[in-house]
Amino acid sequence: MSLTVDALIRGPMTEFEEKLRQQHEASMHQELEALLATANKAEAEVSRKDFNGFKNLFHRFLQVKGPSVDWAKIKRPPEESHLNKTFTADVPLVLMNSFNTDEDTKKILQKYTHHRVKIHTFNQSRYPRINKESLLPIAKSMGVSGDNTEAWYPPGHGDIYASFCNSGLLDKLLAEGREYIFVSNIDNLGATVDLFILHHLMSQPADKRYEFVMEVTDKTRADVKGGTLIQYEDHLRLLEIAQVPKAHVDEFKSVTKFKIFNTNNLWISLPAIKRLQEKNSMDLEIIVNPKTLDGGLNVIQLETAVGAAIKSFKNAMGVNVPRSRFLPVKTSSDLLLVMSNLYSLDAGSLTMSKKREFPTTPHVKLGSSFTKVQDFLTRFENIPDMLELDHLTVSGDVTFGKNVSLKGTVIIIANHGDRIDIPAGAMLENKIVSGNLRILDH
């Protein structure tokens, strides 16, 4: 199912469609109750809260409405342009986990027991994957192992509002007198607490404070699919590529009409989250994510995005921030960049080296031999000097010796069956290396 706008603007349901919708909804509720019956009392209590959110999402999914955006009404938004120790503050770190990552996270956090920061964790909801044909859960019980391993999923970062509230942490932070949370993707190493933004938020009169601030940054060719901020019927909204009619996709990707994209660094008012959750008025578009499981079964996941809530808050604002606040590490290519001498770590913030003449980040593309972190680390004796690098492509069985220097555009291709060992101390500037180059100890 595609969430394009043109497919989603529909008239009222026919009587047959309405009866079919009711039947699907009743069957889903029956299946969810049967799943809850397989859990113990404590697990069932937590899962019932999750399922309440899922039922609401499934109900809206069956309405087949989605985001009704009229393209002609879209406008560009108006332009607006080591913490605790330094300030003797007590700012806690809150991590939202899923049932897939919770155990591993808790083990790592044991290392930080004596650090000067309180770390809270909570789990996002666990939703059942839906059989694409029957529109019923594929789970046979509430278990997450064995045959049930693929039956559950965490429903996207838009679930933060309900899970944060259900965990009790929202009420705890409000009771401590806290007013804002700063939310970011954990893989964005450029996302730190910016005191200038915080000061701007707190300097407004209490009755005119911003409830939701989204950090955006200038779009490059690498970001053309990223969600953008738009002005729509006097409200700021997040427009994702899945909402764009096919006829306007090229226009959406253009850097002339839509010059900015969402970094997912968000400043959100805690009292406003509480108000919207209590009124059940958090309006998030549904993202229908189709998946094919290992056995070939086609399923769908109903998800939401945290930034889509911007239209539900009063006094929302977008702030254009430097690119340095968006530094995601999702691949080994990203990891190579942040481990190199291009960046240094200062009080928890990554900053680009002043020795680099241009503030742009090199384009790095490592092949499948570098995908896993362990493989990546064994292929570098140490990380090359990349201060003057513009572009690096590496494909095939390639290793790097110590103190290698890469400059300009460097392309290294080892064909199937070949291996290339870049020797220690090598300096490659605007070079293409291919074929077979072995360096053997003797």
What are the domain boundaries of the chain? 52-325, 332-435
Among candidates 433, 321, 426, which has minimal Cα distance to 381? 426
Of the pLDDT bands very low, low, confident and very high (cuts 50, 70, 90), residue 80 is: very low
Strands 405-413 and 427-434, bridge-based pairing:
parallel
The pLDDT score that the predictor gives to residue 13 is 63
294-333 per-position pLDDT tens digit? 889 999 999 999 999 999 999 999 999 998 899 899 999 9
State both tokens at 313: 């808050």
Please indicate whether the domains covering 52-325 and 332-435 agree at the CATH topology level: no
Determine the topology of domain 52-325 in CATH.
Spore Coat Polysaccharide Biosynthesis Protein SpsA; Chain A (3.90.550)
Closest alpha carbon to 226 in 330, 154, 348: 330
Round to whole Å and give the CA distance between 263 and 185: 9
| Position 59 confidence tier, pLDDT thresholds 50, 70, 90 | very high
Q: How many CB atoms lie within 10 A of CB 388?
A: 15
Residue whose pair of structure tokens reads 């680099």 in the numeric block: 356
Q: Is the pLDDT of residue 4 over 60?
A: no
Are 128 and 144 spatial neighbours (Cβ–Cβ below 8 Å)? no
**Paired tokens of 289:** 């994510």
Mean pLDDT of the chain: 86
Q: What is the pLDDT of residue 249?
A: 86
pLDDT surpasses 60 at 81: no
Which of 72-76, 269-273, 322-326, 335-339 bottoms out in mean pLDDT, i.e. has the lowest? Answer: 72-76
Residue 307, both tokens: 């930034």
Token couple for 421: 């060992």
| 157 annotated ligand binder | yes
Q: Which two tokens stand for residue 405?
A: 């220097």
User: How confident is the model over 214-251, as pLDDT tens digits?
Assistant: 999 998 877 878 888 888 887 888 888 877 888 888 88
Q: What is the CATH number of domain 332-435?
A: 2.160.10.10
As beta bridge partners, residue 352 has: 343
Within 13 Å and on the Cβ side, how many CA atoms surround 332?
Answer: 20
Q: Is 75 a catalytic residue?
A: no
Residue 10 has pLDDT above 70, yes or no: no
Residues 330, 365, 372, 402: which is the catalytic one? 330
Planar angle of CA 124, 126, 131, nearest 5 degrees: 145
Q: How far is CA 91 from CA 97, 116, 117, 128, in A?
A: 19, 9, 7, 35
Half-sphere exposure of 432 (CA within 13 A, CB side): 2
Q: Which amino acid is at 438?
A: R
Within 13 Å, how many C-alpha atoms sit on residue 379's CB side? 22
Interacting residues of 285 by C-beta distance below 8 A, sequence separation 6+: 3, 66, 67, 240, 243, 304, 305, 308
List the structure tokens of 196.
């200038």
Q: How far apart are CA 97 and CA 105, in angstroms?
A: 8
For residues 139 and 48, what is the distance between their CA atoms, to the nearest angstrom? 15
pLDDT 10s digits, 125-166:
999 999 999 999 999 999 888 778 899 999 989 999 999 999
Q: CA-CA distance, 293 to 419, in Å (whole number)?
A: 35
User: What string of H, E and C letters represents the secondary structure of 324-387?
Assistant: HHCCECCCHHHHHHHHCCCEEEECCEEEECCCCCCCCCCEEEECHHHCCHHHHHHCECCCCEEE
In the three-class reduction of DSSP (H, G, I as helix; E, B as strand; rest coil), residue 89 is classed as coil
CB neighbours (10 Å) of residue 133? 9
Rg over alpha carbons for the chain, rounded to the nearest Å, is 25
CA distance 156 to 213: 20
> Count of CB atoms within 10 A of residue 89's CB?
11
CB 74 within 8 A of CB 232: yes
pLDDT confidence band for 9 (50 / 70 / 90): very low
